[in-house]
Amino acid sequence: MANYTLLNPTSQGDATEKFLAPRIKNLDGKVMGLLDITKNGSDIFLNRVEELIRERFEITEVVRVKKPTFSRPAPTELLVELAEQVDFVVEGLAD
């Protein structure tokens, strides 16, 4: 898999090289994480994502978490805990 350099337009720091996570070939039997960033409508969006994914794949489980506030990055502890429980994550952004 090729490496990409991602630039954060809001960052004041130097650009750092990032690597894409390995892609999952099939979602059947996987645990899906849904990260609600707590913006208006993100729960509605994630409900629909869950519905569509469940229609198409045999998801084992869905783990839902919410950021404390949309105005700040998710706490590292929250992200680590979620990553330890799931195979992939969909983050909900809406307004």
Higher pLDDT, 11 or 90: 90
Nearest to 75 by CA among 39, 28, 33, 37: 37
Q: Specify whether the CB–CB gap between 86 and 31 falls below 8 A.
A: yes
Higher pLDDT, 9 or 74: 74
Confidence of residue 70 (pLDDT cuts 50, 70, 90): confident
pLDDT digits (tens, 9 = 90+) for 35-46: 999 888 888 999
Report whether pLDDT(71) > 80. Answer: yes
Cα–Cα dist 49/57, whole Å: 12
Report whether pLDDT(57) > 70. Answer: yes
For β-strands 61-66 and 4-5, DSSP reports them as unpaired
Domain positions in the chain? 29-95
pTM of the model: 0.76
Which CATH code fits 29-95? 3.40.50
